[in-house]
Structure 1
Amino acid sequence: MSMFQIFSISGSAVSAQSQRLNTVASNLANADTVAGPDGKAYKARQVVFQTLPLGNAAQDDGAAGVKVTQVTEDATPGRRVHAPAHPQADAEGYVTYSNVNAVQEMVDMISASRSYQNNVEVMNTAKTLLLKTLQMGL
């Protein structure tokens, strides 16, 4: 593996974690939303990753790293609250809220943020090593 592949691998991980952070932000922004006129509440979304090993012949560009394969919706039913006076209440007087768990989303955000930071640190370390290698040749 060449030193330059490290940038490609870490760069793909940074990109994937960035998409994960955006998904978490969207989930948190919709944590307390109620069902719309169609009766469906916001569903929490999760990012699914796939690793791309080195030397994988099935890949077109031969790149290794990580990629986002899909963004899935959580099938857990939304929280129902009895509030007959609410304008979005159904015929039984219940309001359906999104199924977003704010605590779990905060944990995911911290995890994604740390993964992002670690991959940036890998790129910075590789850059420093390449610069030191160039200085040795002078």
Structure 2
Amino acid sequence: MSMFNILDIAGSAMNAQMLRLNTTASNMANADAVASSENEAYRAKQPVFSTVLKGLDSAGVAVSGVTESTAPVARRYEPGNPQADGEGYVYVSNVNEVEEMANMISASRSFQNSAEVFNTSKDLMMRTLQLGK
């Protein structure tokens, strides 16, 4: 495995974690969203990652897709809400803010680790080039 492959792997991991951070931010932004029906309610989303192997000397991280949470949507009685249904209920998103914060911290640290791998590899390549001086 060459040093450039390490940069590819770290770069793909950083891209994946960036998508994870963006998805988590979207979930947090919609945590208090309400809808007039259960089908219209916002559902938390999570990216699905997979390992990409390109032969024996190359690998990376790919995003296979984004899934929606199957957790139930809460129903709240708010007859004064303009989005309330005929019975006075609104449907609240199923975003768990505590889980999302933990997910955001994890994604941020994973991104930082991948950035550190990227920078360390770059520094090692630069030092290798300077050996001939």
State the TM-score, normalized to the length of structure 2. Answer: 0.92
Superposed CA RMSD: 1.8
Aligned to 2:19: 19
Could you list the per-position Cα deviations for residues 48-94 of structure 1 after superposition, in whole angstroms to 9, with x for gaps in the alignment? 000123526xxxxx841101000011121211111222222222322
SS in structure 2 at match of 1:76? coil
Note the C-alpha offset of 1:39: 5.4
State the distance in 2 between where 1:103 and 1:38 align: 22
Which structure shows the bigger proportion of residues in strand conformation?
2
1:96 corresponds to which of 88, 91, 114: 91
**Structure 1 unaligned blocks of 5 or more:** 57-61
Share of identical aligned residues, percent? 57
Over 2 Å off, 4+ runs:
36-39
Note the C-alpha offset of 1:23: 0.5
Residue identity in the other structure for 1:18:
M
State the distance in 2 between where 1:36 and 1:69 align: 31
Residue identity in the other structure for 1:100:
V
Indicate yes or no: 2:120 matched with 1:125.
yes
Aligned to 2:30: 30
State the distance in 2 between where 1:118 and 1:39 align: 39
1:1-138 equivalent positions in 2, closer than 5 A: 1-36=1-36, 40-53=40-53, 55=55, 63-138=58-133
State the distance in 2 between where 1:34 and 1:13 align: 34
State the TM-score, normalized to the length of structure 1. Answer: 0.88
State the distance in 2 between where 1:122 and 1:134 align: 18
Task: Count residues with an aligned counterpart.
Answer: 133
Residue identity in the other structure for 2:95:
V
